[in-house]
Structure 1
């Protein structure tokens, strides 16, 4: 297609720019991320050759990729940050775009943004758009050593579209429970999974990783913007040595993306017609021949943890839209945070990792540098410069998350009308594919599917992913501390892949051992002393007092564990027929101990739930809540899980979790709407409404309201009424109600409940009750 035939609405790349500010260089300026992005933007404007003032006046959309500091929920900006990065960049370059976008987290975002903005331009919604990235991670870390630190904090006026973190599906409860909150550990798991599929030894995998990344170091050595300009042989990259310590098996440091960089990049897009109007030399124009953007299944649901079919499909589709083949692409840049990100794409495409054309134009993330979410903007800048120089084609493959998202662009100076891709259809096909079920709490014999051993300064930390032999479900697990055999297995001479292990689910996550022995459950029994609760037997009644008055009886994991053990013992003790839970001091329970969580300690519940109660099944002995004061959050969830409840007239009951960014996840979201009218539950759960004791009684949350200070005595009286009846009848009644609860038809529910009533026929208490009635005496219950 000649230039005269290209529609004026066709999107084109007209300018690219990069900026660098290395710590230690003579000209080091301690530039902020915004400064670096603005410097790259000015370079892109200059590179276009357009009238700068006219281009800035026409700029309609300015997007900044999300900085590394803003890419996780907790702040990582020790020097401060702009509260409006795109407007801050705009102010520096003299622009006032109508749209200012701060994009979501993900290494795929630069290429995905090029695709999105090209679609806008082709559809006539935009004429000029600018994408900018900037990172000053190296300066932020260097500043720790300085007495006088620079400040990156600034305010910028103007509307901004903040697309948020974009981490949904990538960070789950299973990740957090097992310490998988970094990318390196998870990519290491993928790497060994690929090794398992291909049948490689550890030595063969190391050789492959070294051979794929050694050519990247050669490219980085020629790139003046690269962070590491030293060439390395394959064995230098994979051999653990001084300066190349093991990070996470199989990754030494030189195989891991390098984030300590100060870099900025920018790409300027226009419609073909606008570019000509603003005086851009046609020889500077680069066309997008093909694009695609796809996402992978959630990581632990993927059938093959060592493959990346979404990335492969994205590359193939972009090439299909471009009407070209793999052999026709001269310049490649495949996202290279870790070897698996390159190798999985090569596997799927049949592309040699040692392809003589090379698989990077920058030097790759471990050597050029990995500037947060902005790396691929540098790759696009380099590809644009190369295809301009030789008239060939270039391809950028940008990966995000945990091999989670992949965006592709095919670039060429050959004039070509824009063609929309069909990524939506392909995405539907990927989403409809097979998935693996994840066992949140796994139990039984299993086989190791993949593994890694993290090597922080504090010592090795193994992680195992396996499949249960019984049903094939996948699980994530950490080693059981009492069994050192797992660590020896993973670090031993024999290959751990496929080895048989035993897994057991605990409150704090799954634990794996070489045998079931470490998980043998001890018979339930009361302890001599407790640290966080008080326990007292009063005849047939057990009284449990939450004893953390300094924290308003808020509970933390050690307290949950104590309560789980006490309730296990209560349920197993035939001499105890009822239990009461109350709180020390003038409060019942303030819920989860947020101060403990904020300290950095891992919060968790035992498998039986908050207070060892809220997720417990088959509780067929009555438990009574004596609500002697405020019961909020988990405190109310304890009350809802008890069979009976008495509240002090001064008590207040509510679930304020939304006020601290949490939800009532210990049963409140389910039990509350089943206990009170839905509108009341909504107000409590969504707006933090608290009930008075009288309101709680009226709504059926508590059975009785006691005078001030009288909740425990009232609960004791209620317990005495309970234990005066047949304990067998009480237990069978509770069991029958539980069985019938989920059966909607009344007659069917009655029939279901009758399943447990046969036990009455062989109960000594049944006959004792009948005979005592006939003989006009007080029954002497046996409890069986």
Structure 2
């Protein structure tokens, strides 16, 4: 890569300012509401840039937040800042959205549609939860009860999935975990060890990040061993292997053109250039996917950004692989051609840094900007949303792009081209069922609630089936650490409540 470019400087987008805030109030009612966190993060980003830019923002993207409900939060924020941006957007739910908004803002600048853009997100879930439990009234902007809550999880899944409890991220991602590790030839014990090692690396990064919620390194065994404080939630995930949304955080980035940055006197060593990226997605109903050992959209997105790095994932000096659950970075690092010694984060991960729901990747982008300013030449930000559903990746660099930022960055056609036939889903089945994937759900006390298997029937249709907590033999088969149950056969019967059940034969 060369620093020379023929693109006009007013059409070269550059990230110039980053701002983060972590709120740990001593009193519940002193906690900052999301709007406060958004505003403070943006003002910190402006201070970081060292130039007065907020008053000139023409493009404002606000990441969806769930800890408090406002009517038109993006307009409320713009009013606080005293601006009327032509593009003023509050987006839908999705963990990939901060990366998408940064990428889209960069494209807007590259098209000459705006000169200064802001992307920000915030959550105050920790304070909101504590206030609800304590019955404390928060002195925040009144909660907008008339605004409909965004549709999530259960709204897009089949009734049988909802009945069996496999409609939330923590109960759906295990299907990918089990299927992918079996596909790679790992025993469950080997897969668990890989998760522990990987998650320990995320915790190491969080321990060094001043903005992290949990600032300590966890050893692999601490992460993978169930205890009273690290309870099993859905096999194979303990509490220390899942996202932690109970945080109060805000993150923001300011982008402008290279011409504007130089005219404003922003130091050259502050400039970080978006080089390009890619996006693709799956159907929201996860049972409409062809299989669960890889993600075609993830593969297409990561291969596209590898092409920006000369076709080699090892060219990235710093990477952030989305980390809601271990299966996501495990699949991603293999697609990128990176080994088990991968350093998967510059931020700390959604378990340890904290998971302000859809906003984590805004903080990851801030951390990546710091890393690039410190000398990393080429950085990769990979965000993901839903149930391995929506994917967006962005490449950033110390050097400006050699070519104008591509405007069509969807690789959906490539993802769809690799998709195989999707089996028909049935809610009633009998005979032999072959395990496609599985999980086991646990109560807060650590007892098994029931197991769930995703099955292929004898005529290759797909169903979900329950394993009652009383069926110890089948549960022991599923939880064998030395042999995956994926691919094993058992008998499907219909229970009295109309739900399929499965037992190993």
TM-score, with structure 2 as normaliser: 0.89
| Aligned twin of 2:24 | 22
Residues 129-278 of structure 1 mapped to structure 2, 5 A cutoff: 129-146=117-134, 148-154=136-142, 165=151, 170-278=156-264
The 3 A distance-change label for structure 1 pair 441 and 147 is closer
Asked if 1:392 corresponds to 2:377, the answer is yes
- Contact 1:6–1:415 (Cα < 8 Å) also in 2: no
Tell me the CA shift for residue 325 of structure 1: 3.2
- Contact 2:20–2:363 (Cα < 8 Å) also in 1: yes
Tell me the CA shift for residue 366 of structure 1: 0.6
Distance in 2 between the 1:2 and 1:192 partners? 45
| Aligned twin of 2:56 | 58
Residue number among 465, 488, 496 corresponding to 1:499 in the alignment: 488
Tell me the CA shift for residue 104 of structure 1: 0.8
SS across alignment from 1:453: strand
Asked if 1:67 corresponds to 2:56, the answer is no
- Contact 1:104–1:165 (Cα < 8 Å) also in 2: no
- Contact 1:14–1:286 (Cα < 8 Å) also in 2: yes
Asked if 1:347 corresponds to 2:334, the answer is yes
Asked if 1:412 corresponds to 2:401, the answer is no
Computing the radius of gyration from Cα coordinates, the structure with the larger value is 1
SS across alignment from 2:306: helix
- Contact 2:306–2:336 (Cα < 8 Å) also in 1: no
Q: What's the CA shift string for 1:89-138, capped at 9, x where partnerless?
A: 22333333233211011100000111222222212222221111010011
- Contact 1:288–1:412 (Cα < 8 Å) also in 2: yes
Residues 33-44 of structure 1 mapped to structure 2, 5 A cutoff: 33-44=34-45
Asked if 1:337 corresponds to 2:324, the answer is yes
| Aligned twin of 1:304 | 291
Residue number among 12, 15, 31 corresponding to 1:13 in the alignment: 15
The 3 A distance-change label for structure 1 pair 28 and 235 is farther
Asked if 1:461 corresponds to 2:449, the answer is yes
Tell me the CA shift for residue 321 of structure 1: 3.2
Asked if 1:89 corresponds to 2:88, the answer is no
Tell me the CA shift for residue 322 of structure 1: 4.9
Distance in 2 between the 1:320 and 1:492 partners? 40
- Contact 2:300–2:414 (Cα < 8 Å) also in 1: no
Asked if 1:374 corresponds to 2:359, the answer is yes
User: More relative contact order in 1 or in 2 (CA 8 Å, sep 6+)?
Assistant: 2
Q: What's the CA shift string for 1:215-237, capped at 9, x where partnerless?
A: 11111111121111121111111
The 3 A distance-change label for structure 1 pair 349 and 325 is closer
Q: What's the CA shift string for 1:673-694, capped at 9, x where partnerless?
A: xxxxxxxxxxxxxxxxxxxxxx
Residue number among 80, 103, 106 corresponding to 2:91 in the alignment: 103
Q: What's the CA shift string for 1:168-217, capped at 9, x where partnerless?
A: 99534343232223101111121111122123222111111111111111
Distance in 1 between the 2:192 and 2:375 partners? 35
Q: What's the CA shift string for 1:493-535, capped at 9, x where partnerless?
A: 875333322334679764213289xxxxxxxxxxxxxxxxxxx
| Aligned twin of 2:467 | 479
- Contact 1:441–1:505 (Cα < 8 Å) also in 2: no
Matched positions, count: 495
Distance in 1 between the 2:462 and 2:407 partners? 35
- Contact 1:66–1:102 (Cα < 8 Å) also in 2: yes
SS across alignment from 2:11: coil
SS across alignment from 1:475: strand
Q: What's the CA shift string for 1:346-404, capped at 9, x where partnerless?
A: 1222212322xx21011111100111100001010111111112151111110111111
Tell me the CA shift for residue 489 of structure 1: 4.1
- Contact 2:74–2:89 (Cα < 8 Å) also in 1: yes
Tell me the CA shift for residue 295 of structure 1: 1.2
Q: What's the CA shift string for 1:519-552, capped at 9, x where partnerless?
A: xxxxxxxxxxxxxxxxxxxxxxxxxxxxxxxxxx
Distance in 1 between the 2:412 and 2:50 partners? 39
Tell me the CA shift for residue 423 of structure 1: 3.8
- Contact 1:16–1:381 (Cα < 8 Å) also in 2: yes
The 3 A distance-change label for structure 1 pair 441 and 163 is closer
Residues 456-605 of structure 1 mapped to structure 2, 5 A cutoff: 456-457=443-444, 459-479=447-467, 486-491=474-479, 495-504=484-493, 510-514=499-503
The 3 A distance-change label for structure 1 pair 240 and 225 is same
Asked if 1:359 corresponds to 2:361, the answer is no
TM-score, with structure 1 as normaliser: 0.59
Q: What's the CA shift string for 1:450-480, capped at 9, x where partnerless?
A: 1111112274233433333422122122236
Distance in 2 between the 1:428 and 1:174 partners? 30
- Contact 1:379–1:396 (Cα < 8 Å) also in 2: yes
- Contact 1:102–1:163 (Cα < 8 Å) also in 2: no
The 3 A distance-change label for structure 1 pair 421 and 442 is farther
Tell me the CA shift for residue 150 of structure 1: 1.3
The 3 A distance-change label for structure 1 pair 411 and 271 is same
Distance in 2 between the 1:324 and 1:195 partners? 25
SS across alignment from 2:383: strand
Question: Where do 5+ consecutive residues of structure 1 fail to align?
Answer: 70-76, 157-161, 517-784
- Contact 1:501–1:512 (Cα < 8 Å) also in 2: no
Distance in 2 between the 1:316 and 1:495 partners? 29
SS across alignment from 2:44: helix
- Contact 2:442–2:449 (Cα < 8 Å) also in 1: yes
Q: Which shows bigger deviation, 257-266 or 86-95? A: 86-95
| Aligned twin of 1:49 | 50
Tell me the CA shift for residue 405 of structure 1: 1.3
Tell me the CA shift for residue 38 of structure 1: 1.0
Asked if 1:429 corresponds to 2:414, the answer is yes
Distance in 2 between the 1:324 and 1:411 partners? 16
Residues 588-737 of structure 1 mapped to structure 2, 5 A cutoff: none
The 3 A distance-change label for structure 1 pair 414 and 507 is farther
The 3 A distance-change label for structure 1 pair 120 and 149 is same
The 3 A distance-change label for structure 1 pair 111 and 505 is farther
Say what the alpha-carbon RMSD is for the aligned residues: 2.9
- Contact 2:38–2:250 (Cα < 8 Å) also in 1: yes
